[in-house]
Amino acid sequence: MDNYPYIIASLPDLALDFEKHDFDYPFIRENIFFSLSQEDRRLVEWLEQGFVDENLNEDFYRQCRRCGNRFIRDFFAFDWLLRTEKVAYLERRESGEDFEEKEALHKAFVNPDILKREQAIGSVVWNKIEELVVMDVFNINVILAFLAKAHIITRWNRLDRVTGRKLFDDFVKEIDETYNRNKIDF
C-alpha cells in the first residue's frame, strides 16, 4: 500500500517568486522520505544525485535513460538538453538539439543581468517540472516533482548577487570541463 495521497496532501504549496523564504528542505525531505517505500526512497535518492554537479556525467545520464520511472527519465533528459544548450551558447555554436524550451532558454542566456538570467532559466526548469506531472495526481512523480521544485527554492534561498556570480562563473567553468570530458549523445 502506498501513502501518496497522504504525503501529497501534506506538502506545502510552492511558488517560484525568487524571494527568500523560511523553507527547510532537509526537514520536509526527511518527512517525505520516511513515509515512502524502499523503492520510492531509491527514486528520491536518484533525483538528489542529479542535484550534485559532480555526479552529472555520462554514466549518470545513461542510467537515467534506462530508469523505469518516467519523471526521472524525462527530467534528466531535459536537464541534459539544458546543459547542452548552455555549453553551445557559451561556445557560440548551435547544439543541434530541437526542443520546446529552447527559445525561452536562449532568451534567458542573452540577458546581461546575471540574476535575471538565472531567474529565467529557473522559471523554464520550474515550468518543465510542472509539465512533466500535469497528468499525475497521487503518485511518486508528484512527490519527485515537489522535491525538484523545493530544491530550486532552496538554491535561491542561498543566493545573493556575489554568491550568484561566483556560482555562475564556477558553473560555466564546470560545464566547459564536463562537456569536453564527456561528449555523449542523449
pLDDT in tens, 137-178: 999 999 999 999 999 998 887 765 566 666 667 666 766 666
- What's the rounded mean pLDDT across residues 13-31? 86
Q: What is the DSSP string of 48-69?
A: HHTTSGGG-SHHHHHHHHH-S-
The single-letter code of the amino acid at 12 is P
Q: What is the pTM of this model?
A: 0.85
Average per-residue pLDDT in the chain?
Answer: 88
Percent of the chain exceeding pLDDT 70 equals 84
Domain extents in the chain: 23-181
Which of 93-97, 141-145, 182-186 has the highest average model confidence (pLDDT)? Answer: 141-145
Q: Output the pLDDT for position 175.
A: 63
- CA dihedral of residues 123, 125, 129, 131 (deg, nearest 10): 70
